[in-house]
Amino acid sequence: MKAAGRLTVRARGLVVGLPFGWLVLFVLLPSLIVFAISLVEPRLGAPPFTPLFSHGSGALPRFDGKLDNYLLIFSDSLYVAAFLSSIRIAVSAALITLVLAYPMAYAIARTGPRWRTPLLMLVVLPFWTSFLIRVYAWTGILNSNGLVNNALRHLGVIAEPLPLLHNEFAVYLGIVYSYLPFMVLPIYAVLERLDWKLLEAAADLGAPPWRAFLRVTLPLSLPGIVAGLLLVFIPAVGEFIIPELLGGPGTLMIGRVLWTEFFSNHDWPLASALAIVLLVLVLTPAIALARVTRRPEDAA
């Protein structure tokens, strides 16, 4: 009996300890390292950065961390512009996604229960297929010899190809396209639980359908809308692949700048500092998201 009890205790320790240990080693520790590296300077060699501590004059190691990288980020117009345009693009793309997703979610929620599951499946299915390939698919369509330009030229609408690819428009398109399911699902989840009798009650009280929608449906679906906006904003603001494949040379996004600093300029400390600022940028909406999507059982 004692032995079995001890086994259970050990099993319980394993259940918590193994995933917890993994997360500490591969999530918490790396994040702290990024912060540490963001305080040092690049140099030639391996590793390509100066140590955080050095042998000082005394017995204690000397702390060599500086905030120079952060000062650079906030004073150099390139980095400031990159952050601002990342936020602008992510916010606008999230709003465009909302406009497209809300009617879809609404329509799915109002179909018969029989059709809901397959319709929802169809929204989720693209999410399972390669993100990279889905973004790539647009390059073939928006290209200057792409399908759209060829078709328009064929019809005689245009003489010169329209610049559809490698600009901000294409980046918006890519984000909306890639993250549409993230917006449809939370809105659908809220609308599905909505009691449609409320709309009948609103009609009974004299509200025409559009007023009933504005005064009843929309306010009640607000948690889904907020969750959807955050779910699109958070990955979009740090996006790399979409601006890289669809954006132009002038499309500044922070993920792309970080990539360049790291892979082209080999400035690991500056890339780390950019990563930390980016982290701060997603943390606020992430906390908001946790609040919005908190389930009642978790609150207890």
Partner 1 sequence: MRRRSGLAITALAFGYAFLYVPIAILIVYSFNDSRLVTVWSHVSTRWYGELLHNAQIGDAFFLSLRIAAVSASASVMLGTLAALAMRRGRRFAGRSAFEVLVMMPLILPEVLTGLSLLLLFVLLGNFFGWPSERGATTITLAHITFGMAYATIVIRARLSELDPLLEEAAADLGATPVRTFWRVTLPLLMPAVLAAWLLAFTLSLDDVVIASFVTGPGASTLPIVIFSSVRLGVSPQINALATLLVCAVALIVGVATLTLARAKK
DSSP character string of 21-44: HHHIIIIIHHHHHHHHHTTS-B-S
Nearer to partner 1, 84 or 290 (CB): 290
- At residue 156, what are phi and psi to the nearest 5 degrees? 75, 15
Least Å distance between CB 76 and partner 1? 19
Least Å distance between CB 57 and partner 1? 25
Strand runs labelled E in the chain: 53-55, 61-63
d(CA 263, CA 257): 10
Nearer to partner 1, 1 or 57 (CB): 1
Instruction: State the DSSP code for 42.
Output: B
Nearer to partner 1, 58 or 208 (CB): 208
Nearer to partner 1, 58 or 154 (CB): 154
Amino acid at 75: S
Least Å distance between CB 205 and partner 1? 19
Least Å distance between CB 71 and partner 1? 20
Least Å distance between CB 190 and partner 1? 17
d(CA 217, CA 210): 10
Beta pairing partners, 54: 62
Compute the radius of gyration of the chain from its Cα atoms.
25
Least Å distance between CB 222 and partner 1? 20
Neighbours of 229 (CB within 10 A): 24
d(CA 22, CA 28): 9
Least Å distance between CB 294 and partner 1? 11
The DSSP H or E segment spanning 173 is: helix 168-192
Least Å distance between CB 234 and partner 1? 6
- Which 3 state secondary structure label does DSSP give 15? helix
Nearer to partner 1, 102 or 168 (CB): 102
Distances (CA, A) of 9 to 3, 19, 215: 10, 16, 54
Amino acid at 2: K
d(CA 111, CA 106): 9
